[in-house]
Structure 1
Amino acid sequence: MKHLLNLYRIAAGLFFLLAFTACSDDDDNGTTPPVVETNTIVDFVAANDDYSSLEAALEVTGLTSTLDGTENYTVFAPDNDAFADFLADNGFSELSEVPVALLTQVLLNHVQMGEIMAADLSTGYIPSMATRTGSDDNLSMYISTENGVMINGVATVTAANIEVDNGVIHAVDEVIGLPTIVTFALADPTFDTLVAALTREDDFTFVSTLMMTDSPAPFTVFAPTNNAFVDLLAELEMNSLGDIPTDVLASTLSYHVVTEANVRSGDIMDDMEVSTLAGQMFTINTENGAQITDANGRIADIILVDVQANNGVIHVVDTVLLPSME
C-alpha cells in the first residue's frame, strides 16, 4: 500500500510538471514575437568595416533613425578612405571636429528620396535631401552617365545597386561636398565655354567670387551654354573666344550674375527688372515662357531653371546676354 502511494505521488508530480511546461510554452508563444532579421541601409553600413566612418557620422547627426526606417531612400555611400580625404581637404583632423550642422547637410547631400537604380539614372540634375544654408531649397546634384556614374564631377560610383530593405545603396569613392556655383560649372560640360571665358584672363576673379558662401553670395547666375557662345561669336563675326576684347568679355560675364539674391523660378515675375554685377539691368518676361531681354533688345530663352548650389542658383540660357557698351 505504501509503495502504491509513492507511485501515485510521483505520477501526480510528473503531471503537474508537464502541465506547467505546456502553460509556459503557450504564454511564450502568445507574448514573445519571432525575431525578424532586417537589412536596412543602417544595417548594411554597420555590417561593413569599410563604412565605419559613415556609421559614426550617421550617429553623430542623428540620421541613423531616418535611414533605419521603412521609408525608401537612395544613398551614395562614401567609404572610410573617402571620409579621410574629406577631413584632410577641409582642415579637420577627425570627424568630431566637423560642425554637426555642416556634417548633417553633407550626409543629406548623398541621399535621395525613393529607390533609384543605376539604370534609372541619366545625365542631368536631380535634387538631394540637403538644403541651402538658411533655406528650404534642396541642393541639386549633377549626374553624369557618360562613363559609369559620376556625381558633381567629384565622386564615382564604384559599386551600384546594393539593394536593402528600405532602398538602394551606390558606393562612391569621394564624399560629395556641398556644391557651389563653380562646382556645377566645372561638372557640367554644357558650360565648358563659359568656364573658359571665366578663366581666360589671369586677373579675372569670377571663379573665386562664385565660390564664396558669404557676401556677395548668394548669387543668381544666368549661364549661357556652349552653343550660346558659338552663336555669339558668329554674331560678332569673331573666330574664337580669344578675339573678344577683355573689357567686353568681363562686362558680358558680369552681366549674367546677380549678387545678394537666390532668385528661383518661382520668384520670377513678368516684366521683372534685374540688376546685375555689371551695374546694368535686363528684363525678364514670362508671357511666352521665361525670356530675357538684354540692354540691346536681344532675346534669350531660359531653358533650364533652379540648379541649386549652396551659394546660389543657376538658370541656363540659350543666348549670351550683352550689356550696353556705350
Structure 2
Amino acid sequence: MKTSNKMLQILFITVFTLGLTSCSDDDDNGNIIDQPQTIADIVSESDDFDILLAAAIRADLVETLSSTANTNLTVFAPTDAAFLTYLEADDEAAAIAAVNALPEQAVANLLLNHVLGTAVMSSDITAGYVEALSTNADGDALNLYIGVADGTVSVNGVADVVTADVDADNGVIHVVDAVIPEATVVTFATADPNFSSLVAALTRESSFSYVATLSTANGTDPAPFTVFAPTNDAFTALIAELDAVEALGDIPTATLEAALNTHVVAGANVREADLTDGPVTTLGGEVTIDASTAVITDANGRESTIVVTNVQASNGVIHAIDTVLLPEL
C-alpha cells in the first residue's frame, strides 16, 4: 500500500496534469474516453518510481514530464532500487531526504541526463551518441553513449535497459537498472568500444594518473578538457608504424605517456565551431590545427583527421581522431 506521502505526491501530479487531460469521462455516445497517460502519470502510479517522482518534484520537472504539447520524449527511468544504490541510502525515505537536500538545479540536470528530446522505441535504438536534455556549465547539451550488445541496450556503460517501450502519450519510457550520472570524458572512453585501445593505454602503467585527472569535475583545475581521442584503428596503425613494436605493451612508457599528453588540452572545452587555425598547446606540447580540413599536425609533421566531433561530457569534449599524435621525436 502506498504511504500518505506517496498519495500527496500523486495529488501534486494530478494538479499539474488536470489542465492537460480531458475533463470528461464520456463522449457524446456515452462511451468511456481513455484519459491520457503521460510519462508523469506512469511514474506517479508505479510503485517502482517513488524516488524518481520525488526527484522530479524537487527539480520542478513534473510539468515537463506531463506536457503533451509539442512534446515527444524518451525517458530512461531508474527504479527505486537504482536510486538507493546511487544515493547509498538504506531505504526510500532516506533516499528522498537525500534528494531533497540537493540543490534543485543539480537534481534537474541529473534527471535531464536521462531524457532525450525525441521518442525512440527500442526497435529504433542503435549504438552511438545521442543528445540528452542535460547541459554542461556553458549550456552545451551533454551526450549519452548508447551501447547495443547481445540484445542488451546500455547507457554510458553504467545502466542497462531492463524494460523497454513503456508507451506514453508524450513519449516512451525505458526502465533502467542504474542512475546515469552526467558523463565525464573518461565515461565515454570506457563506454565506447571504439576507444578500448585508448583506455588500455591510459591505464597501462600504475604511475599514469589520466583516469583521475580526466575525471576532474568541471570548474576544478585542470578541467575542462578538450581530448583528441585516437580510435582503435589509430593505435593499430601506430603499432605498425613504430619499429620493433608489435603490441601496445611494447611502446616504451615515456613515449606512451608523452603521446597521451599530446592529445589533451587542459582548461578549455573547445567544440568544433570554436576550433581555429594555428598552434594549440596540449599537455605534451604544441600541435597545429587546420580547422577547415579538420586536420591536426603533430610536431613530426604527421597528420591526423578529426573523424567525430563534439562528444560532450560534463567536464570537457572529445573529438575522435584517426592517427595517434606523437611528441617531437
One-letter amino acid matched to 1:42 = A
Listed one character per residue, the Cα deviations across residues 219-274 of structure 1 (whole Å, up to 9, x for unaligned) are 000000111111101100211112111111111000000000000001012x2321
Scaled by the length of structure 2, what TM-score is found?
Answer: 0.85
Q: What is the match of residue 79 of structure 1? A: 79
Amino acid at match of 1:38: P
- Report the AA paired with residue 95 of structure 1: V
Partner secondary structure for residue 149 of structure 2: coil
Match for 1:136 among 139, 161, 164? 139
Q: How far 1:104 sits from its partner (Å)?
A: 0.9
Q: For 1:280-322, what per-residue CA distance to the aligned partner results, in whole angstroms no more than 9, with x for missing partners?
A: 11111134x3111111001101000000000000000000001
Q: Which residue of 2 aligns with 1:4?
A: none
Residue 146, structure 1, aligned to residue 153, structure 2: no
Do residues 286 (structure 1) and 284 (structure 2) align? no
Q: Mapping of 1:65-214 within 5 angstroms?
A: 65-70=63-68, 71-88=71-88, 94-132=98-136, 134-147=137-150, 148-213=152-217, 214=220
Match of 2:9 in 1: none
Equivalence for 2:49: 51
Shift in Å at residue 276 of structure 1?
Answer: 0.3
Is residue 250 of structure 2 the alignment partner of residue 246 of structure 1? no
Deviations 1:2-24 (CA, angstroms, capped at 9, x unpaired): xxxxxxxxxxxxxxxxxxxxxxx
Q: What is residue 235 of structure 1 aligned with on the other side?
A: 241
> Which of structures 1 and 2 has the bigger CA Rg?
1
Does residue 320 (structure 1) correspond to residue 324 (structure 2)? The answer is yes
Q: Compute the displacement of 1:33 (Å).
A: 5.1
Match of 1:221 in 2: 227
- Return 98-107 or 174-183, whichever deviates more: 98-107
Aligned equivalents of 1:272 and 1:160: distance in 2?
47
Q: Distance in 1 between matches of 2:280 and 2:289?
A: 8
The match for 1:256 is 263
The size of the alignment, in residue pairs, is 289
Q: CA RMSD in A?
A: 1.6
CA distance in 2, matches of 1:179, 1:193: 20
Q: 1:33 to 1:322 in 2, by over 3 A?
A: closer
Between structures 1 and 2, the one with greater helix share: 1
Question: In structure 1, what residue type is equivalent to 2:121?
Answer: M
Structure 1 unpaired stretches of 5+: 1-31
Q: What does residue 24 of structure 2 align with?
A: 34
Of 268, 272, 276, the residue aligned with 2:275 is 268
Amino acid at match of 1:85: T
Q: Which amino acid aligns with 1:268?
A: L
Q: Find the aligned partners of 1:52 and 1:38 in 2 and give their Cα distance.
A: 21
Summarize the Cα distance change of 1:88–1:33 in structure 2 as closer, same or farther, 3 Å threshold.
closer
Q: Percent identity?
A: 47
CA offsets per residue over residues 176-222 of structure 1, 9 Å max, x none?
00110110111111111111111111111111000001110000000
- How far the C-alpha of 1:136 sits from its partner, in A, is 1.0
Q: Summarize the Cα distance change of 1:33–1:117 in structure 2 as closer, same or farther, 3 Å threshold.
A: closer
Query: Which runs of structure 1 show a deviation greater than 4 angstroms over 4 or more consecutive aligned residues?
Result: none
